[in-house]
Structure 1
Amino acid sequence: MTNHRPAASGCPVGLGTTDLVDPTLYSGGDPHPEWARLRALDSLSWHQVDADRGFWSVVKYADTEFVLRNTELFTSERGTMLELLGMDDPAGGQQLVVTDPPRHTIMQARLKKALALRAVDRQRDMIRDLVLELVEPLGDGGVFDFAQAMIEMPMSVTGTMIGLPRADWPWLTRLTAACIAADDPEYQEPGGKEATLATAHRELFVYFQDLVSFRREQLSDDLLSVLISTRFEGRHMSPSEIVANCYSLLLGANVTTPHAPNFVLAEFVETDVLRDWAAHPEVHTTAVEESLRWSSPVNHMLRYATRDLVLHGTEIAAGDAVVVWLGSANRDDDEFPGGETFDIRRKPNKHLAFGIGPHYCVGHSVARVTIKTLFEELLDRYEDFQSAGKAERMVSNFVSGYKHVPITARRRRRTAAG
Structure 2
Amino acid sequence: MTTHETVAARCPVHLGQDDLVDPTLYSDGNAYAVWRELRAIDGVSWRQVDAERGFWSAVRFADADLVLRDHATFTSERGTLLDLLGTDDPAGGTQLAVTDPPRHTEMQGRLKRALTIRAVDKQRDMIRDRIVDLIEPIGDGGAFDFAEAMLAMPMSVTGTMMALPESDWPWLTRINTTCIAPDDPEYRMEGGRGLTLALAHHELFGYFQELVRHRRDNLGDDLISVLITTRFEGRHMSLGEIVSNCYSLLLGANVTTPHSPNFVLAEFGETEVLEDWARHPDVNANAVEEALRWASPVNHFLRYATRDTVLAGTQVAAGDAVVVWLGAANRDDAEFADASTFDIRRKPNKHLAFGAGPHYCIGHSVARVTLRILFEELLTRFEDFRLAGQPERLVSNFVSGYKHVPITARRRTA
Deviations 1:121-141 (A, max 9, x none): 000000000000000110100
Partner AA of 2:188 in structure 1: Q
2:407 matched to which residue of 1? 407
In structure 1, distance between residues paired with 2:4 and 2:211 = 50
Count of aligned pairs between the two proteins: 413
2:254 matched to which residue of 1? 254
Checking the alignment, whether the CA contact within 8 Å between 1:144 and 1:407 is kept in structure 2 is: yes
Deviations 1:344-399 (A, max 9, x none): 00000000000010000000000000011000000000011000000000000000
1:112 matched to which residue of 2? 112
1:123 matched to which residue of 2? 123
Asked if 1:133 corresponds to 2:171, the answer is: no
Change (3 A) 1:390 1:208: same
In structure 1, distance between residues paired with 2:4 and 2:121 = 49
Deviations 1:271-291 (A, max 9, x none): 010010011000000000000
How far 1:306 sits from its partner (Å)? 0.2
Greater Cα offset, 39-48 or 340-349: 39-48
Give TM-score, length-normalised by structure 2.
0.98
Query: Is there any run of 5+ residues in structure 2 with no aligned partner, and where?
Result: none
Partner AA of 1:398 in structure 2: F
In structure 2, distance between residues paired with 1:143 and 1:370 = 24
1:175 matched to which residue of 2? 175
| Runs of 4 or more consecutive aligned structure 1 residues displaced over 3 Å after TM superposition | 3-9, 15-18
What fraction of aligned residue pairs are identical, expressed as a percent?
Answer: 72
Partner AA of 1:214 in structure 2: H
Query: Is there any run of 5+ residues in structure 1 with no aligned partner, and where?
Result: none
Deviations 1:116-165 (A, max 9, x none): 00000000000000000000110100000000000000000000001100
Deviations 1:285-315 (A, max 9, x none): 0000000000000000000000001111111
Partner AA of 2:406 in structure 1: P
2:276 matched to which residue of 1? 276
2:33 matched to which residue of 1? 33
In structure 2, distance between residues paired with 1:13 and 1:138 = 44
Partner AA of 2:58 in structure 1: V
Partner AA of 2:120 in structure 1: V
Checking the alignment, whether the CA contact within 8 Å between 1:205 and 1:243 is kept in structure 2 is: yes
In structure 2, distance between residues paired with 1:169 and 1:387 = 27
2:162 matched to which residue of 1? 162
Checking the alignment, whether the CA contact within 8 Å between 2:8 and 2:14 is kept in structure 1 is: no
Partner AA of 2:268 in structure 1: F
Checking the alignment, whether the CA contact within 8 Å between 2:13 and 2:38 is kept in structure 1 is: no
2:322 matched to which residue of 1? 322
Partner AA of 1:178 in structure 2: T
Q: How does 1:208-227 map to 2 (within 5 A)?
A: 208-227=208-227
Q: How does 1:335-414 map to 2 (within 5 A)?
A: 335-414=335-414
In structure 2, distance between residues paired with 1:349 and 1:412 = 31
In structure 2, distance between residues paired with 1:249 and 1:262 = 21
How far 1:107 sits from its partner (Å)? 0.2
Partner AA of 2:381 in structure 1: R
Checking the alignment, whether the CA contact within 8 Å between 1:305 and 1:316 is kept in structure 2 is: yes
Asked if 1:49 corresponds to 2:49, the answer is: yes
Checking the alignment, whether the CA contact within 8 Å between 1:308 and 1:315 is kept in structure 2 is: yes
Change (3 A) 1:331 1:387: same
In structure 2, distance between residues paired with 1:187 and 1:234 = 41
Change (3 A) 1:195 1:6: farther
Asked if 1:145 corresponds to 2:145, the answer is: yes
Give TM-score, length-normalised by structure 1.
0.97
In structure 2, distance between residues paired with 1:317 and 1:283 = 45
Asked if 1:266 corresponds to 2:274, the answer is: no
2:200 matched to which residue of 1? 200
How far 1:2 sits from its partner (Å)? 2.5
SS of corresponding position for 1:19: helix
How far 1:266 sits from its partner (Å)? 0.3
In structure 2, distance between residues paired with 1:235 and 1:197 = 32
How far 1:14 sits from its partner (Å)? 2.5
SS of corresponding position for 1:243: helix
1:188 matched to which residue of 2? 188
SS of corresponding position for 1:252: helix
In structure 2, distance between residues paired with 1:357 and 1:7 = 28
SS of corresponding position for 1:267: helix
In structure 2, distance between residues paired with 1:272 and 1:52 = 50
How far 1:16 sits from its partner (Å)? 5.7
How far 1:5 sits from its partner (Å)? 3.6
Change (3 A) 1:385 1:114: same
In structure 1, distance between residues paired with 2:363 and 2:402 = 21
In structure 2, distance between residues paired with 1:51 and 1:156 = 45
